[in-house]
Amino acid sequence: MLIPFEEEQEAHYVCALANSSLFRFAVAAYSINIQQDPHVFQNVRIPKYENSDPAHRRLAQLARRAHEVAHEGEPGELSKIEVQIDQEAARVWGLSEQELRAMKT
């Protein structure tokens, strides 16, 4: 899927949320696994990027770092970043640590 953005930070932020295990959980709850297309962004709310929000900025930073680490071929480091992305995504969506754990099992 391609989504146009004006700002690089916003693109990284959306990428982080869309690749989080929470987003995948939400998509899996209503879609057929072989038929996922851009409509997922109409059904799973991603809050508008706000540069003033520390969680939004942190997600953008983590996504950028995840891209670098994936390119460098460091799977252990990438796994750590993915955990951090999930934690920040839970904050954005107002989920508790317990709810995050339940969605990941």
Write the pLDDT tens digit of every residue in 24-82: 898 888 766 555 566 777 778 899 999 999 999 999 999 999 999 999 988 899 999 99
Q: Is residue 68 part of a domain?
A: yes
Q: Please check whether residue 14 is in contact with residue 92, taking contact to mean a CB–CB distance below 8 angstroms.
A: no
pTM of the full structure = 0.87
User: Can you list the positions of beta strands (E) in 8-93?
Assistant: none
Domains in the chain: how many in total?
1
Q: Is residue 3 part of a domain?
A: no
Q: Is residue 50 part of a domain?
A: yes
Q: Is residue 64 part of a domain?
A: yes
Q: Is residue 85 part of a domain?
A: yes
Q: Which long-range contacts (CB under 8 A, 24 or more apart) does 46-53 make?
A: 46/14, 46/17, 46/18, 47/92, 49/7, 49/9, 49/10, 49/13, 49/14, 51/9
